[in-house]
């Protein structure tokens, strides 16, 4: 019995000490610490709470302690929330970070079910795509890089910056073989803000150079033409990237121009020019026989 009484007395004394020690004046401490909201200042805020010298009953002290606890919890959660709400380091890297960006518009539409791209063990990519008027076109090219499964028709070196992709555009009114006309065609498609290289700002410093072909020598009208193009584009971090590409063009009927664009960074182009040249020279595009069966 005596032991039980001692335990009760000890419990009552401990309760009084606990409730009294948590009684403090909250506003005064906040005023003293209002210049800082860091986690460290919060600890200083809690440690600076002074004991209330007024005598309170156990009931009043408990009620005051609850209010103080709720106030303390609110401040703790608020400060912690502000501290933890900092944006990830790369969330808006370079101002945009790719947020809200859509897939580039390459103009590639596959002709129907079963006409999607395939790549054999020799790296030859084949597909049946639509012309501007919706007619079937068979395209193929050979590349040492794997075919991507994303939308469009593209193969890419997954470790480096080399890639090759198909772009389908409407035939311009003027002769597309003309340097200035072709440059504008690129600015409206591949190098547009919705194009493959314009996702983070339209490329600039564009320079187009046509390669002479056998058709240029004999004076006949070429249905294909090879160009080289250099330009400056922006990375997701909004850094400039000098790039160079080789573009093989194939005219299909009178309304469609199919481009194979193979390129890399300007720094890597000299060591990969042979590979890129092989890719664009392997490009084939031709009208597919039309049939009611698809």
Q: What is the pLDDT of residues 229-262, one digit of tens each?
A: 999 999 989 999 999 999 999 999 999 999 999 9
Domain boundary among 58, 84, 110: 84
Can you tell me whether residue 245 is helix, strand or coil?
Answer: strand
Task: Say whether both 20 and 133 belong to one domain.
Answer: no
Asked if residue 184 belongs to a domain, the reply is yes
Asked if residue 131 belongs to a domain, the reply is yes
Task: Say whether both 133 and 257 belong to one domain.
Answer: yes
What's the N-to-C CA distance of the chain in angstroms? 96
Task: Indicate the number of domains in the chain.
Answer: 2
What is the average pLDDT across 81-105?
44
Q: Does residue 209 come out as left (phi exceeding 0), alpha (psi in the -120 to 50 range) or beta? A: beta
Task: Say whether both 42 and 129 belong to one domain.
Answer: no
Banded pLDDT at 6 (limits 50, 70, 90): low
d(Cα 50, Cα 28) in Å, to the nearest integer? 9
Q: Full-prediction pTM beyond 0.85?
A: no
Task: Say whether both 37 and 122 belong to one domain.
Answer: no
Task: Say whether both 141 and 269 belong to one domain.
Answer: yes
Residues 6+ apart with CB under 8 A from 52: 20, 23, 24, 25, 64
Question: Domain with 193 in it: what CATH number?
Answer: 3.40.1000.10
Asked if residue 292 belongs to a domain, the reply is no
What is the average pLDDT across 69-79?
40
Asked if residue 239 belongs to a domain, the reply is yes
Task: Say whether both 67 and 180 belong to one domain.
Answer: no
In sequence order, which ranges of 212-259 are alpha helices (DSSP H)? Answer: 214-218
Do 164 and 139 form a contact (C-beta atoms < 8 A)?
no
Task: Say whether both 124 and 243 belong to one domain.
Answer: yes
Can you tell me whether residue 158 is helix, strand or coil?
Answer: coil
Task: Say whether both 77 and 174 belong to one domain.
Answer: no
Task: Say whether both 125 and 252 belong to one domain.
Answer: yes
Q: At what angle do helices 58-84 and 39-47 cross, to 10 degrees?
A: 170
Asked if residue 96 belongs to a domain, the reply is no
Q: How far are the Cα atoms of 185, 227, 235, 252 from residue 177, in angstroms, in the given order?
A: 10, 9, 30, 14
Asked if residue 111 belongs to a domain, the reply is no
Asked if residue 89 belongs to a domain, the reply is no
Can you tell me whether residue 79 is helix, strand or coil?
Answer: helix
Task: Say whether both 39 and 138 belong to one domain.
Answer: no
d(Cα 285, Cα 294) in Å, to the nearest integer? 19
Asked if residue 275 belongs to a domain, the reply is yes
pLDDT for the residue 293: 52
pLDDT for the residue 53: 45
Structural domain for 55, as ranges: 2-84
Task: Say whether both 41 and 185 belong to one domain.
Answer: no
pLDDT for the residue 74: 40
Can you tell me whether residue 77 is helix, strand or coil?
Answer: helix
Task: Say whether both 80 and 147 belong to one domain.
Answer: no
């Amino acid at each position: 019995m005596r032991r039980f009484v001692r335990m009760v007395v000890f419990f009552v004394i401990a309760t009084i000490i606990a409730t009294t020690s948590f009684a403090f004046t909250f506003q005064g401490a906040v005023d003293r610490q209002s210049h800082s909201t860091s986690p460290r200042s919060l600890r200083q805020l809690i440690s600076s709470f002074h004991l209330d010298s007024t005598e309170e009953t156990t009931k009043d002290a408990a009620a005051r302690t609850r209010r103080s606890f709720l106030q303390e919890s609110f401040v703790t959660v608020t400060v912690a929330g502000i501290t933890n709400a900092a944006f990830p380091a790369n969330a808006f890297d370079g101002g945009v970070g790719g947020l809200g960006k859509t897939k580039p518009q390459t103009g590639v539409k596959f002709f129907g079910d079963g006409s999607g791209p395939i790549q054999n063990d020799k790296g030859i990519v084949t597909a049946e795509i639509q012309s501007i008027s919706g007619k079937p076109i068979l395209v193929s090219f050979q590349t040492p890089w794997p075919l991507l499964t994303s939308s469009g028709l593209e193969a890419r070196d997954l470790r480096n910056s080399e890639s090759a992709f198909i772009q389908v555009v409407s035939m311009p009114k003027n002769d597309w073989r003309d340097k200035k006309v072709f440059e504008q065609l690129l600015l409206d498609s591949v190098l547009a803000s919705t194009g493959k290289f314009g996702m983070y700002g339209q490329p600039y410093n564009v320079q187009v150079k046509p390669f002479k072909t056998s058709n240029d020598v004999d004076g006949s009208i070429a249905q294909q033409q090879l160009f080289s193009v250099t330009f400056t584009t922006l990375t997701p971090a909004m850094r400039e990237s000098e790039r160079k590409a080789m573009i093989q063009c194939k005219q299909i009927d009178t309304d469609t121009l199919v481009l194979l664009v193979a390129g890399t960074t300007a720094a890597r182009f000299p060591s990969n020019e042979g590979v890129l040249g092989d890719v664009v020279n392997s490009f084939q595009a031709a009208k597919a026989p039309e049939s009611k069966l698809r």
